[in-house]
Structure 1
């Protein structure tokens, strides 16, 4: 069994200690990462919309 399950207080102390070690992104990095994520999402939305539209049209042609 993991230590956290045996002693929740120790687990929470360890989590707090680890969170202090984390290197958090600065404002510039966070903005850059956010833009990359938004562009990636837009790309995938357009890609899957095109694939869906193409497959729908193909099924429509095959069934008619």
Structure 2
């Protein structure tokens, strides 16, 4: 039991140490990355929407 608390404490200590090494993005970078992700999602959603309409049209033409 004592060993598990020691290893748990060690885990959190090492995790905190690793988090200090991380280079976090600035507010401007975060905003840009967010806009890129949202733009990519919109483009992919539009692609699949057009693809769905096309496939639906083909199926309607067959039936």
TM-score, structure 1 normalization: 0.82
The Cα offsets for residues 14-43 of structure 1, whole Å up to 9 and x where unpaired, read as: 111101100000011111101101110110
* Poorly superposed stretches of 4+, deviation over 6 Å: none
Q: CA deviation at 1:8?
A: 2.1
Q: 2-side partners of 1:30 and 1:42: how far apart?
A: 18
RMSD, matched Cα: 1.4
Give unpaired runs (5+ residues) of structure 2.
Answer: 1-6
Higher relative contact order (CA 8 A, sep 6+): 1
**Which residue is 1:36 aligned to?**
36
Q: 2-side partners of 1:13 and 1:35: how far apart?
A: 34
Matches within 5 A, 1:14-53: 14-53=14-53
